[in-house]
Amino acid sequence: MKKRRKNFTNRKKRFLILNSFLVLFLVLGIGYSTLSSNLNIFGDITLKKPIPPGIVFEVTPTSTPENGDKYDLGEEVTFSVTITNNYPYELHDVIIGDDFDEYDVEYIAAYDSYTINNMTMYITEEMIVEGFADLHFYINASDKDNNPITEEYNYRIDDIEDINTDFDIFINYDTTKSYNVFDEFQYSISVQNNGNVRLTDLEIEDANAITSHTFELVAPGGTISNIGMYTITQADVDAGQLKLEATVNALDPNGNEVKKNWIGIVPLNSSRPRINLTYEVEQIDNTYVFKFKFKNPGNTTISSGNFSFEENTYDLSGMNPGDEKTYEYIYSIPDDPNFICHEFIFNGIVQTSSGNTSSLVHAALVGPDCGK
């Protein structure tokens, strides 16, 4: 009996010990599972990554294109630029700049920022040609040991206007002057660059003067002029206008050819012929001596014409504007005691090559008692 009880007792002890280990194992397993799946028993813990030392740029455009779409030549672009100092020490003797301006800043504290508003740049012709604008920002400063600190940052603008090579051609001349056949007509043909890039090797071909002139370049907004000289012809006057023609050739910055033809009209005076007659009458003994002077005051050549006086006919053909012709006629006074006065009739007609005509009719009384 005693042995059995001992054995029972031993088995009971071993059973209790085994159960204790089992319970402990279960408790630890459950506790580990609970702890690993729910750390909120200790609260949420967030660990921040360390901030690397250095300078951070933040560039923000504060302007918009004038046409609401793209920036064109010479337009102003403004920016807000923020510099953040991520060094664990203050930066002093700070200079912040871009390709156009520089700004002095006394210092930027550790982990602090400094903002410059309205930093300004302007769109250049080079940016137009490239189709974008690369802006360069930088900071120069000193650290706590006066060692130099330099950082750079590039920012690109893609909203740049396309290349524009438009230009105008126009003529200048004296509009107060009347032009006649054989007059020298002086004028200037001008080219104005309305585009946003320069035009090079610009050539003006003047069809009237049969000349050409080349200019090295014309900047945007610029104007160049070429002086021409032309002699007015009868055909110009007959047409009532002078037709000027010019061709302009040039190259854009990429070497592409741009070309424009131009025609200008200059109104001239009417081509209807004119003839003026003045005369003098002198009595010499028993004669009257007539001295006729004809002048072409018009703006066209008299291609054909004549003047009749009594039984005589005088030729007026080939008189250019301003030309004069003189003729003399001698009238013998009749040997008649009843002679009082004689009426003379002047008859003339002139014509241009285009067929326009003018006539002249005039009467004169000559004698001792005319008008009585």
pLDDT in tens, 154-175: 999 999 999 999 999 988 888 7
Choosing from 157, 177, 205, the residue where a domain stops is: 157
Domains held by the chain: number = 3
- Whole-model pTM: value is 0.59
Q: What tens digit of pLDDT does each residue of 341-352 get?
A: 878 787 877 777
- For residues 259 and 176, membership in a common domain is answered with yes
Q: Which pLDDT value is given to residue 22?
A: 53
Q: The domain that contains 213 carries what CATH number?
A: 2.60.40.10
| d(C-alpha 33, C-alpha 137), whole Å | 55
Predicted local distance difference test score (pLDDT) of residue 8: 38
Same domain for 257 and 171:
yes
Mark whether 232 and 318 lie in a shared domain.
no
Q: Who contacts 347 (Cβ-Cβ below 8 Å, separation ≥6)?
A: 307, 308, 309, 360, 361
Answer yes or no: is pLDDT of 49 > 90: no
User: Which of 125, 216, 230 lies closest to 181, judged by CA?
Assistant: 230
Asked whether residue 302 is assigned to any structural domain, the reply reads yes
Domain shared by 258 and 299, yes or no: no
Q: What is the pLDDT confidence band of residue 73, given thresholds at 50, 70 and 90?
A: very high
Instruction: Measure the CA–CA gap between 110 and 84, rounded to whole angstroms.
Output: 9
Whether residue 26 lies inside any domain: the answer is no
pLDDT of residue 5: 38
Q: What is the pLDDT of residue 371?
A: 59
Looking at residue 332, its pLDDT comes to 86
pLDDT in tens, 241-280: 888 899 999 999 999 999 999 998 888 766 667 788 888 8
Q: What is the pLDDT of residue 105?
A: 94
Residue where one domain finishes, among candidates 121, 137, 157: 157
Q: Of 11-20, 73-82, 282-291, which one has max mean pLDDT?
A: 73-82
Range of the domain at 212: 167-267
Residue 25 lies in a domain: no
Residue at a domain's end among 213, 246, 267: 267
Query: 202-233 b/e with 16+ CB inside 10 Å = b?
Result: bbbbbbbbeeebebeebebeeebbbebebebe
Q: How many separate helices (H) and strands (E) can be counted in the chain?
A: 3, 21
End-to-end CA separation in angstroms for the chain:
201
* Pair (152, 65) in one structural domain: yes
For the beta sheet containing 133-142, the strands, ordered from the edge strand earlier in sequence to the opposite edge, are: 102-108, 91-97, 133-142, 148-157
Examine the domain organization and report whether 72 and 153 are in the same domain: yes
Q: 62 with 150, same domain? A: yes
Asked if 357 and 299 sit in the same domain, the reply is yes
Question: What mean pLDDT is reported for the chain?
Answer: 83
Nearest Cα to 247, choosing from 219, 220, 210?
210
In a domain, 177, yes or no: yes
The alpha-helical segments, DSSP class H, found in the chain are 2-37, 125-130, 234-239
Count of C-beta atoms within a 10 Å radius of residue 242:
21
Q: 290 and 263, same structural domain?
A: no
Helix H or strand E segment including 184: strand 184-193
Q: Are residues 81 and 133 in the same domain?
A: yes
Cβ burial of 84 (10 Å; 0-12, 13-18, 19+) is middle
Whether 27 is in a domain gets the answer no
Residue 17 is assigned to a structural domain of this protein? no
Residue 6 has pLDDT above 90, yes or no: no
Q: In this structure, is residue 99 part of a structural domain?
A: yes
pLDDT surpasses 50 at 148: yes
Residue 247, in any domain of the structure: yes
For residues 292 and 258, state if they share a domain: no
Please tell me the least confidently modeled range out of 27-41, 137-151, 198-212, 325-339: 27-41
**Statement to judge: residues 153 and 60 lie in one domain:** yes
Tell me what the mean pLDDT of segment 282-308 comes to: 85
Q: Report whether pLDDT(3) > 60.
A: no
- 12 pLDDT higher than 60: no
Residue 18 identity: L
